[in-house]
Structure 1
């Protein structure tokens, strides 16, 4: 596997020391910063360390979005952290997945703030002013990316735009969602204006580009434009659809990306960084310490690996795909068999399974000995997503025609092997097409929330698919997650728990 930008260990060790908790923004020691930030390469390594906190982003999308949605019926055969996520349990403020989402993002924000501080105070150590501007833009892109992740999961969060002490962190309240968005948008606009279109050096593949920033910024505007649900969540009803459309059109007009003719080739282990990829998280394998991907096996039961004679991965039970999703694919849709394993299997030594599970990122010829070292990148945003987001903006009132929407949907369906064209595509129909296209990519929950369909789709799905009657009735409060209890305990009275938990 080629050398990637993520997980440069030297700076990661130095910069992590001051971040035991998400708000423990203690600066690394004077001696450490004085000796480390002394050259161009030091600042590059520091930037790589910020990227490193994206490592678990794919896992988070599968655990908190895919599992929460109607794509999965994740009622466990034994106690597992994902079951209360699936079931809309109220008592999940101590859930490991919820805590990880908060802590990892704030750890990355801490690293980004440290880097941004040193880019100013140690500016003379960088001999290339163009590099300084680019690294500043990368840090601000990553900080915005992490804040966007936080606001979608938790709603209001504290805005920390500099390195602060532990005592200072215990006085910073959660900011209104509108303020968090303004902060995110300011960072992403700077990134879009100052990042390069592409990177020529192989060592820089996977870094954020101008168009990655524009794509995430478009999604920010769209998410902010979603309904409020009368909670302090990610939707503010701001009607930014036209602004988002302009950014998406810039990506399309750039000519940097294209629509692959083969659905499977988008995810091929030998076709990483293909023309579909607008932004992805890069992994390096064979390193010590291990820094490969962990997401390909996350939704796959270990019995399946033993049934094909491969090493056990995570010790996981099955997290089944919902019957509703499986049956939504039309006959001949190639995406179904590529995305979902439906044949059933019997494991060597006993044990069998007939329920379907996701296998989109699974290549059984690439199963590593170490389950933490999968050699595949995770695509955060791809060109098909850009096209379908454009269709969504048009349906939400941005400039464009029904014919444009239908053309995008038919392009996607044709690649999937469906030859009968559709017309008059509605928003619910577009979201169902997105559901089939992006299943197992972690987008479904956010799609439902942003579109306003979550309040109708989830109750209807629960009524039919919840055969064990284990899922709590849906309520608007469940659009976001609770603040981790550990954060409430760290500074009693500073935060108020999200309603419904």
Structure 2
């Protein structure tokens, strides 16, 4: 069962916290000594977690929609996600591009507020105080990692600044952003607990910090593509591998044999889940909207969920569907090949239904009670295989064993001599709709090759542009560029 106490606190904060989205770059002048004691700081830390509420949605639009898993083109071409799908060069004003930037910096501001304000007087128990600091640093690292993967260079705000002060802080090199991320995560590893009592399940653990740190090393080890993006060609696959092995050997997690059970509404916090984002339904204000954003409005209307919302098309690519071998149980669980609308008309447009259970619908299409799996155990296993393949570190036989473990759960036969392309294909099938495909292609050096082969085959409406290396990251949002002339330069390749 979901932890009601922790989620209930988040729900209150989601309703009451004001996100200073009109202030660019994002910052805020402290808390005016609002936080006085341990309880106040527990609420403040929970407020940082509450910033994650839109993370699943924005990852879908900025990652899954960007990849070869979706072909999101409508007849009218007016949806914001279509320009992302199409590799449009004028997306600096796109609402999703700016919303994720704003939200990440809101989370960073909240983390910095805790880190700046917490003291021995306010939180006398050193263990509790150190745990709160570690949570704030884990989440700050989480937000900065999201930023660096999406935008490349970003301004480093490592404590609370006034709006005037932020106008003198330019974007830092990617390597310096990673330095802060790694420093924060190393401290989180040391000071976060391995687990929590039941009333606090859902908070970041030391295992979650190790998992995220391993992904950070894996990502910055990837190729640079000649841009100032997330890859630094640092060759730290051994560091990533050591962290993944630690989690596999010593962690309290496990491989769930039943694939659909990983995502069941009545099976949250199962052994697969290393870190998730907590949601609860029932009119609390903390329900999730991400389960329904991948499905057509007509499907929801036909099933008495939600309300009309105009044209909506986020079609699963034919290439992804064809990538599932006969007998793979994941295809039917992940994808619905069409639906019958309220007029008894069948719409043969495939879409993701991985996170939808119509029997669990809340008050509307924005109110689902399913936690969002950010890092799960299968991801750790597969990233271990990736570290071995990319870094020539570890035992290559382990790669085959990992891939075959995943394939067996999917109902598929074993394979041998797994190479990078076979690995990426299996990872794609496993994590469809979990917004991991784009990042996998980027960090393994395959994104240009794969996407530019896929676009001409899939783009039946001739809307998409071929991509170049500049489109591996997004533009800096235009409202950030205009806040002060010369403070930020736009990422190359964007208008």
Give 1:320's match in structure 2, choosing from 315, 328, 331.
315
Q: CA deviation at 1:15?
A: 6.3
Deviates more, 1:51-60 or 1:365-374: 365-374
Structure 2 match to 1:82: 81
CA distance in 1, matches of 2:325, 2:12: 50
CA distance in 1, matches of 2:311, 2:221: 38
Structure 2 match to 1:440: 433
Structure 2 match to 1:3: 4
CA distance in 2, matches of 1:316, 1:269: 29
**Map 1:168-207 → 2, pairs under 5 A:** 168-200=165-197, 202-207=198-203
1:178-236 Cα distance to aligned partner (Å, 9 max, x none): 00001100000000111000112x22110000010000000001100111010110001
Q: For this pair of structures, how many residues does the alignment match?
A: 491
Structure 1 match to 2:289: 294
Structure 2 match to 1:258: 254
- Evaluate the alpha carbon distance shift between residue 306 and residue 371 of structure 1 in structure 2; reply closer, same or farther with a 3 A threshold: closer
User: Within the alignment, does 1:281 sit opposite 2:277 as a pair?
Assistant: yes
Give 2:22's match in structure 1, choosing from 12, 20, 23.
20
Q: CA deviation at 1:97?
A: 0.5
Structure 1 match to 2:106: 107
User: Within the alignment, does 1:71 sit opposite 2:69 as a pair?
Assistant: yes
Structure 2 residue matching 1:275: 3-state secondary structure: coil
Q: CA deviation at 1:10?
A: 6.5
Contact 1:22 1:107 in 2 (8 A): no
Structure 2 match to 1:371: 365
Structure 1 residue matching 2:387: 3-state secondary structure: helix
Structure 2 match to 1:490: 483
1:293-347 Cα distance to aligned partner (Å, 9 max, x none): 11000010011122234343765612000000001100110000000001x2221
User: Within the alignment, does 1:229 sit opposite 2:220 as a pair?
Assistant: no
Structure 2 match to 1:332: 327
Structure 2 match to 1:219: 215
Contact 1:224 1:236 in 2 (8 A): yes
Structure 2 match to 1:470: 463
- Evaluate the alpha carbon distance shift between residue 362 and residue 29 of structure 1 in structure 2; reply closer, same or farther with a 3 A threshold: closer
Structure 1 residue matching 2:375: 3-state secondary structure: strand
CA distance in 1, matches of 2:20, 2:97: 21
- Evaluate the alpha carbon distance shift between residue 18 and residue 61 of structure 1 in structure 2; reply closer, same or farther with a 3 A threshold: closer
Contact 1:22 1:104 in 2 (8 A): no
Deviates more, 1:309-318 or 1:175-184: 309-318
- Evaluate the alpha carbon distance shift between residue 94 and residue 52 of structure 1 in structure 2; reply closer, same or farther with a 3 A threshold: same
1:373-396 Cα distance to aligned partner (Å, 9 max, x none): 211000001000000000001111
Q: CA deviation at 1:9?
A: 6.4
CA distance in 1, matches of 2:415, 2:207: 30
Q: CA deviation at 1:18?
A: 5.5
Q: CA deviation at 1:2?
A: 4.4
Long gaps (5+) in structure 2:
none
Q: CA deviation at 1:23?
A: 2.3
Structure 2 match to 1:135: 132
Q: CA deviation at 1:25?
A: 1.8
The TM-score with structure 2 as length reference comes to 0.96
CA distance in 1, matches of 2:406, 2:147: 30
Contact 1:297 1:314 in 2 (8 A): no
Q: CA deviation at 1:129?
A: 1.3
Deviates more, 1:179-188 or 1:2-11: 2-11
- Evaluate the alpha carbon distance shift between residue 11 and residue 97 of structure 1 in structure 2; reply closer, same or farther with a 3 A threshold: closer
CA distance in 2, matches of 1:386, 1:315: 39
Contact 2:10 2:49 in 1 (8 A): no
Q: CA deviation at 1:8?
A: 3.7
Structure 2 match to 1:47: 45
User: Within the alignment, does 1:59 sit opposite 2:57 as a pair?
Assistant: yes
Give 2:264's match in structure 1, choosing from 257, 262, 268.
268
**Map 1:276-425 → 2, pairs under 5 A:** 276-288=272-284, 290-312=285-307, 317-342=312-337, 344-349=338-343, 352-418=346-412, 420-425=413-418
Contact 2:283 2:363 in 1 (8 A): no
CA distance in 2, matches of 1:171, 1:379: 37
Contact 2:130 2:191 in 1 (8 A): yes
